[in-house]
Chain A
């Protein structure tokens, strides 16, 4: 157990440090790279908890897809650091105020945090016992596709609507010559090709 404990502190420390670096790094690309490091170490923390399915889904979805797109966009930003920093003093009071309000709210929430009495008895689905030999993936699947199927479907619908919205926002009719592969394949020589006998010295 010593190794697991050490590993936990190592991963947790790197996660927090990477998180801090995300907001303090000067270069936005470095920020995204630190964010990826933070994702990675959170996945490692999930692994330590024995939630291997969630850990790998975290890596596949966040590191493999979302962060690639972040990096893609951030790399293409043309950022002038001098201009970025010029308004800092002007906006400092309002930024500090917002930060303070958030901090106070967090403290209030944390200070008044109580676990509802008898909460454990109200968990909708009992955890499968460790002896049943059920893997994470099966246990999650059994829950999501039976007890929580409506919630799961609604989440899927919301994502679908968001996707359609994004497509509608970027859809515009452009007058660009497009390649139509079907047309190219269907083209026959007799429709587009004429063979003529050209007499010398006459031309067509």
Chain B
């Protein structure tokens, strides 16, 4: 194997496939902000953005240009390196997780056999961007936001881990493509319905979205960890949050909604390519994210902790035992 065949050509291929994933996702993130404003506008009997371009379609681009043209202000008391690294880390983590998500049968950048662990690891790292930002800003509000986020994300990760385990019990593999293939006959959101609900609520808490946006909490701590951020550094947090939303929707789709599989295994549903089904399911999850935001008021912090530790954790733990028991009792264990 020569230098060209062995190293350069695979490298070019990998870079191209990375671009083929990242560029659509960044565009999607931009238009998710537009979709959010439109959907919330419709729910509140407003029009949403209408001025820039037809139906306001160019609004995200205008917002992007505005954020790039602004001046980045770094507070004099801030810890400069950590302050700059934190938003980059948030955005970076939201993008690298896509390496293992299967968009269709075989459409995956890295089909690793511990894919779900990789996703779980990446999503558990998301807290660092926020905590580092909160600490490095050297501001009380930002610091409070960082502390809140640390406690919140650690709490909800625990039950997410248990839910992932109960899905894995039904699959018998940690590979994401195998998880989707195991749902050929029945999507896991039906037999594991309570876990599906708990998982979705936990992903809302993991992404710091309303009603769990206490780290940001603009009415109490003035914007929380982002209070000192401006221009592109702020934009990276903002984009990171939306990219995380898409990622979590993708994760829910793969684990519970049958990934690229069509809801009914006969034509004309099977004529539609899997990647379209995947996109539709992700879009449905994203709509629920926005719907929740437009509907619910923010949780109080002790209520948030109570929900995570006293409701979700026992429920998911109980469900693991129940799933394992049922699989053994009825001999349904995956071969």
Contact = CB atoms under 8 A, between A and B. Distances in A.
A94 B117 CA distance: 45
Interface string A42-80: 000000000011001101100111001101100110000
B157 interface: yes
A38 interface: no
B192 interface: no
B22 to A, nearest CB: 22
Interface footprint category on A: 20 to 34
Nearest to B119: A56
Contact of B131 (A3, A56, A64, A75): A75
A75 B147 contact: yes
B146 interface: yes
Interface string A134-163: 011100000000000000000000000000
B130 to A, nearest CB: 11
B131 A135 contact: no
Nearest to A66: B154
Interface in B88-109: none
A29 B124 contact: no
A57 B124 CA distance: 12
B240 to A, nearest CB: 17
Nearest to B11: A3
Contacts of B113: 52, 135-137
B146 A68 contact: no
B127 A68 contact: yes
A33 interface: yes
Given A68-B154, A69-B154, A137-B174, A63 B118 contact: no
Contacts of A179: 302-303
Contacts of A36: 128
Given A3-B7, A56-B121, A75-B143, A64 B157 contact: yes
A68 B120 contact: no
B247 interface: no
Interface string A1-14: 00100000000000
B117 A56 contact: yes
Nearest to A60: B121
A174 B103 CA distance: 52
Contacts of A68: 127-128, 131, 150, 153-154
Contacts of A53: 114, 117
B279 interface: no
B157 A65 contact: yes
Contacts of A64: 120-121, 124-125, 127, 157
B135 interface: yes
Contacts of B146: 75
B112 A52 contact: yes
A38 to B, nearest CB: 14
Interface centre among A59, A68, A75 (most CB of B within 10 A): A68
A21 B132 CA distance: 18
Interface in A21-42: 27, 29-30, 33, 36
Nearest to B117: A56
B30 interface: no
A1 B301 CA distance: 52
Nearest to B116: A56
A19 B121 CA distance: 22
A56 B118 contact: yes
Nearest to A64: B124
A59 B128 CA distance: 13
Interface string B284-316: 000000000000000000110000000000000
B201 interface: no
Given A52-B114, A56-B114, A72 B121 contact: no
Nearest to A137: B174
A163 B215 CA distance: 28
Given A27-B79, A72-B150, 20 more contacts: A29-B135, A52-B113, A52-B114, A57-B117, A60-B117, A60-B120, A63-B125, A64-B120, A64-B121, A64-B124, A64-B127, A65-B157, A71-B128, A71-B135, A72-B151, A75-B146, A135-B113, A136-B113, A137-B113, A179-B303
25 contacts: A27-B79, A29-B135, A52-B113, A56-B118, A56-B121, A59-B125, A60-B117, A64-B121, A64-B157, A65-B124, A65-B157, A68-B127, A68-B131, A68-B150, A68-B153, A71-B128, A71-B131, A71-B135, A71-B150, A72-B150, A75-B146, A75-B147, A76-B147, A136-B113, A179-B302
